Structure 1
Amino acid sequence: MKLIGSLTSPYVRKVRVVMAEKKLDYQFVLEDVWGSDAILKMNPLGKVPCLVMEGQDSITGAVFDSRVICEYVDTLSPVGKLIPERGRERTEVRTWEALADGVMDASILARLEQTWTGRADVERSSAWVERQMTKVHASIAAMGAGLGERNWCSGNHFSLADISVGCALSYMDFRFPSIDWRTAQPNLAKHYEKLAARQSFIDTEPPAA
């Protein structure tokens, strides 16, 4: 398999962590979707991550986006099952993933509004940034409340819920280091440190901003 992505995308990192936890081999191909349209050959949405099946070179052999890729990859090996098969536990894990993805969605939109070179400074909207960051803060608070004093986000073992939350919080540190989410959510901070110490997270740490 070939994974097309970038070193800084939190969605790509989520997939890379899942691949590492599942102990699966793959080829990682770097792609800058802002500097090239090459990704359109595999993903018409122009986004990463994109997983390409072995021997394929067209959209018909590609899997996207990160949620779909993670679910597919989890079926490829019985090692470290990350998504429950059915029922309430499965729904809970996928809801945690949706919450974490929402943090990434909103924070990326805020960052693009602040930094995208295709827009002049006078065209940027502070109200739009504030709206997105309100979602971020509310979602991180919900993560802290949902985690409580449990060892893992969902159930009694490590799952995709924890991977998703870890990648979202890491992206906040990476792109918004001035935001102190740890003081308000000490339990979440403790959980994040435990996740960050896993080899899968260490090996996928984004480069210095």
Structure 2
Amino acid sequence: MKLYQSPASPYARKVAVVAHETGLIDQIEMAAVTTAPGAPDADVAKANPVKKIPALVTDDGLSLFDSPVICEYLDSQHEGTKVFPEPGNARWHALRVQAAADGLLDAALLIIYEGRIRPEELHYKPWTDAQMGKIDGALAALNEWSADFGDRVDIGTISAGCALGYLDFRFPNKDWRGANRALATWYERFSARPSMQATKPPAA
């Protein structure tokens, strides 16, 4: 399998963490690419019609894209403990956490793009503030739900861990821990997992 990814991408990190947790990491060629809005990588464009990372090409040539889809595919390729729970309440809870974490990341990336791509004189603070409001909303929900995370390693907790890691990576001055102590305590423990340590983003 070949994964088109960037070490700085939180969505690619989520896939890599799943690959580590499922024991598949050695079966995946990690193809680091440089891509940006308006300047997609040519190989990524071939593997993903919306020209975004991560994108996975399986051994039989099937291209898969969007991190939840790739993660679910990887989870189908091993015989160990699954990161996607079986149908039932546990699965819905895990998928809900994943959705909140991915929503946090969507808003965070929009803020990053606003700062990097649009000329400074065109920055629109109310829009950026609205995105930060989405981040804070997701953090509050994750903080509440974290009381039930325990030592779970599923697609929800993996997504949450990668989202919080991205905040530390790209928004180092944001004190998200101050208002979300339960979540911070959980993250300190979860981020020590070998899969999280092996996939830390590069120094900003």
Determine if the TM-score, normalized by the shorter chain, exceeds 0.5.
Answer: yes
Q: Secondary structure at the match of 1:92?
A: helix
Aligned residues: 199
> Which residue of 161, 167, 174 maps to 2:169?
174
> Equivalent residues in 2 for 1:125-144 (5 A)?
125-144=124-143
- Structure 1 gap segments, 5+ residues each: none
SS in 2 for 1:102: helix
TM-score by length of 2: 0.93
Alignment-mate amino acid for residue 29 of structure 1: A
Residue identity in the other structure for 2:129: E
In 2, the alpha carbon distance for the partners of 1:188 and 1:87 equals: 24
Identity %, equivalent residues: 40
Q: Which residue of 2 aligns with 1:44?
A: 49
2:122 aligned partner: 123
TM superposition shift of 1:199: 0.6
Q: CA deviation at 1:37?
A: 3.3
Cα distance per residue 1:103-124 (max 9 Å; x no partner) = 00001001111122xx211111
Contact 2:104/2:163 (<8 A) preserved? yes
- Secondary structure at the counterpart of residue 183 of structure 1: coil
Instruction: Supply the distance in 2 between the matched residues of 1:150 and 1:77 (Cα, whole angstroms).
Output: 23
Q: Following TM superposition, where does structure 1 have runs of at least 4 consecutive aligned residues deviating by more than 6 angstroms?
A: none
Instruction: Quote the Cα distance in structure 2 between the aligned partners of 1:84 and 1:66.
Output: 17
Q: Which residue of 2 is the match for residue 208 of structure 1?
A: 203
CA distance in 1, matches of 2:150, 2:101: 17
Measured in 1, the distance between the counterparts of 2:148 and 2:78 equals 31
1:28 alignment partner, SS class:
strand
SS of the residue corresponding to residue 178 of structure 2 reads helix
For 1:1-209, what aligned pairs fall within 5 Å after superposition? 1-24=1-24, 25-34=27-36, 35-38=39-42, 39-54=44-59, 56=61, 61-116=62-117, 119-148=118-147, 150-152=149-151, 157-209=152-204
Structure 2 CA distance, aligned partners of 1:126 and 1:15? 32
State the distance in 2 between where 1:36 and 1:111 align: 17
Shift of 1:36: 4.2
Does structure 2 retain, via aligned residues, the 8 Å contact 1:5–1:50? yes
CA root-mean-square deviation: 1.3
What SS does structure 1 have at the residue aligned with 2:177? helix
Deviates more, 1:92-101 or 1:181-190: 181-190
Q: Secondary structure at the match of 2:142?
A: helix
TM-score (norm 1): 0.91
